[in-house]
Copies of this chain bind each other. A is one copy, B any other.
Amino acid sequence: MTKKPTKAAAASAAQAGSQMLEAAPASNRATRAAERRAAIVEAAMEEFIARGFAATRLDDIARRAGVAKGTIYLHFKDKESMFEELVRVVIVPVVARLTTLPPPVGSVRDLIEAFAGNFLKEVIGTRRGDLVRLIVAEGPRFPSVADFYYREVVSRGVAAMRALIELGIARGEIREKDLARYPQILIAPAMIAVIWQSLFERHAPLDARDMLRVHLDLIFGERRTT
């Protein structure tokens, strides 16, 4: 079993990717363990994204993480729970950052554009975007992952969008009142962009930023030139 209290915290600090690791401080026992755990998470994410859950070999994860196969089992109960925990560990900090909205100064469109900018930078075309596609892919076989993702990401995102939309309607920036019933519409092009980058980028690159601007023009009924 994983020893959550200590390691989870450390791993969370190390976050999801070696590129984000700060300089390693005092290399004590707990720190080493956290680093290894982070390396496993990072490696597992790469492999799962590249091959999907079933086709990913723990051998490859271990090799990529630079640990022995057995070491994985010091941190995760089995392949399934590794996948589930991995999604949590990688998703949570992203959600935290995305939902930390800037103070509501300026227009609603500015707020939404700030939000979309974050999304563009943090998700689209990144490993995390691929992770979203992975969740779409494996969700049906991992109800716990789908549940977690709905609860932590989707429902919160929808709620946040709805609040912004209602604010926009109240302030007269948004004319389409029914939009508040379907905040999914607001995010749909962004989600499509995520999937598009994963699947079709080499066939036809997509300027996600510009597409989102056009979509917001539709919603706000005006023209922006960025």
In the complex, chain A residues 97-153 whose Cβ is within 8 Å of any chain B Cβ:
133, 136-141, 146-147, 149-150
- Given known A188-B188, A188-B191, A200-B146, contact A140–B50 (CB-CB < 8 A): yes
Docked Cα-Cα span, A32 to B124, in Å, equals 49
Docked Cα-Cα span, A191 to B190, in Å, equals 12
Contact: A203 with B138, CB < 8 Å? no
Across-interface contacts of A49 in B (CB, < 8 A): 140
Interface string of A189-219 (1 = CB under 8 A from B): 1011101101110011010001100110111
Of A2-10, A11-19, A82-90, A177-185, the segment with at least 4 beta carbons within 8 Å of chain B is: A177-185
Across-interface contacts of A179 in B (CB, < 8 A): 214, 218
Docked Cα-Cα span, A193 to B192, in Å, equals 11
Interface string of A43-73 (1 = CB under 8 A from B): 0000001111111000000000000000000
**A221 in complex: contacting residue of B51, B199, B221, CB < 8 Å:** B221
Closest Cβ neighbor of A145 among chain B residues: B199
**A211 in complex: contacting residue of B136, B182, B187, B199, CB < 8 Å:** B182
Contact: B192 with A184, CB < 8 Å? yes
In the complex, chain A residues 155-197 whose Cβ is within 8 Å of any chain B Cβ:
155, 176, 178-179, 181-182, 184-185, 187-189, 191-193, 195-196
Closest Cβ neighbor of A149 among chain B residues: B199
- Given known A55-B54, A136-B136, A136-B199, contact A217–B141 (CB-CB < 8 A): no
A92 within 8 A of B: no
A33 within 8 A of B: no
Docked Cα-Cα span, A154 to B51, in Å, equals 23
Contact: B140 with A198, CB < 8 Å? yes
Contact: A215 with B137, CB < 8 Å? no
Q: Across chains A and B, which 7 residue pairs bring their CB atoms closest together, nearest first?
A: A137-B137, A54-B54, A188-B188, A54-B55, A188-B192, A178-B214, A182-B211
A-B residue pairs in contact (CB < 8 Å), sample of 21: A49-B140, A51-B54, A51-B141, A54-B55, A55-B141, A137-B138, A139-B199, A146-B200, A147-B203, A150-B199, A150-B204, A154-B200, A176-B214, A176-B218, A182-B211, A184-B193, A184-B196, A185-B214, A185-B218, A188-B189, A191-B195
